[in-house]
Each structure stands twice: as C-alpha cells, then as structure tokens.
Amino acid sequence: MLLPSAAREKAHDHGRESEEDALRGSTGHRPLARLTLVKWRLFGVGAASTLALIPAALTSDAKSAVQPLTTAPPEVVTIKIMITDNAIRMAPKSAPRGDIGRFILVNSGQKPHTFALGHQHRQTGSQTGFTRSLRPGEQHILILFLDYRGTLPYLGTLPTDRTKPAMKGTFRIT
C-alpha cells in the first residue's frame, strides 16, 4: 500500500507520461525530432525553388542584353558643308539611317549661293532634304532626321553653279 503523498507523486508521474505519449503520436518520435524533420523539409523545398528560378533569371538578363534600347535618343552626326565660288565640299559624305543630321552650311565664297540637299517632297509628301540660300560669309545650321535610306543628291541651284561639276555630289544614308 502506498502512502497518500507517494500515490500523488505516482499519479503525477503517470500524467506526465500520458502527455508525452499524446505528443509522440503513432510514430513514437519525440516533438523535437518532428520539428527538425519539418525544418529540413522546408529547407529542401526552398533550395529546390531557388534552383528552379536561377535559369529563368539568367534567361531574362540575356534577353535584355540583346534587345535594343528604344528610349535612348539617336546619335547626332555633324556634317560640315563648305561652299566656295567654285566647289561644294561635304564631310562626311554618309551617315547611318535613324540618326539626326546636323548640317552646318558655310558660304566662304564672294557670291551668294543656294544649296539643295535631297528632295523636299518624296512619295507621300515627306521631306527628305532642304534648300537654303546663303549670302557671302553666312552660316546656317539645319537639323534633319535621316529616316530615308539611300542616296540624296546635293547641288548649288543657282544658274552659275549648275555648270560647275564640283558644285554637286551625293550624300549617302546607310
């Protein structure tokens, strides 16, 4: 026969065992072991997800490196045109399509000259050139978007300039 205090201790110990049995469940694992197993499973899922997303991230970077930058402004190409009484000198004589051409016209001759580049009206009425008159010593800067691919003729349009072969040429948009 047990003493009442000893019986109380035994009942208390018996109650603790039943709580542990309830936490263990049917597998017999301890709660700490089950928590460690869950952590390892979550770590494995996270690692697999990371490995699955790496190729997708690399592909999007590779695509962005190949695609053109559409928001970047076009380059400005400076074309200097020197007009004398005997010749027209242009440098450079070509520029890439899609760039902006800044034409610097300088009349260094003793007479007035009229310079024409390209066609002012082409097909649908769009401008692919210009005509500008210059007095002696005068300078003009004209801006033209180079959207037409091909060769544009240039020439001095005054009657005295038309007879001189050095007063005409071509400007090429590539």
- Residues 97 and 59 reside in one and the same domain: no
Report which of 174, 168, 112, 110 is spatially closest to residue 140, judged by C-alpha positions.
112
- Residues 61 and 90 reside in one and the same domain: no
- Percent of the chain having pLDDT more than 90? 29
Record the tokens describing residue 10, joined without a space. Answer: 């035994």
- Last residue of some domain: 66, 85, 116? 66
Mean local confidence (pLDDT), 11-27? 53
Ranges 17-21, 82-86, 88-92, 145-149: which has the least confidence: 17-21
Bridge partners, residue 107, by sequence: 83
What total of structural domains would you count in the chain? 2
**Contact present, 164 and 156 (Cβ < 8 Å):** yes
Radius of gyration for the alpha carbons in the chain, expressed in angstroms and rounded? 43
Is residue 71 situated within a structural domain?
no
Alpha carbon distance 42, 51 (integer Å)? 14
- Residues 85 and 166 reside in one and the same domain: yes
- Residues 58 and 82 reside in one and the same domain: no
- Residues 114 and 135 reside in one and the same domain: yes
Q: Identify the pLDDT of residue 17.
A: 53
- Last residue of some domain: 43, 66, 89? 66
Write down the residue that tokens 């002696």 correspond to.
136
Bridge partners, residue 103, by sequence: 79, 142
Element (H, E) at 60: helix 31-66
Write down the residue that tokens 């200097």 correspond to.
80
Q: Identify the pLDDT of residue 134.
A: 93
Most confident of 35-39, 43-47, 52-56: 43-47
Ranges 107-116, 129-138, 157-166: which has the least confidence: 157-166
Residue type, 160: T
Residue 113's SS3 state is: strand
- Last residue of some domain: 66, 84, 117? 66
CA distances from 51 to 41, 42, 57, 62, 168 (A): 15, 14, 10, 18, 65
Q: What is the pTM of this model?
A: 0.56
- Domain span at residue 141 reads 76-173
The two counts, helices (H) then strands (E), for the chain are 3, 9
Between residues 133 and 15, the one the model is more confident about? 133
CATH of the domain at 129: 2.60.40.420
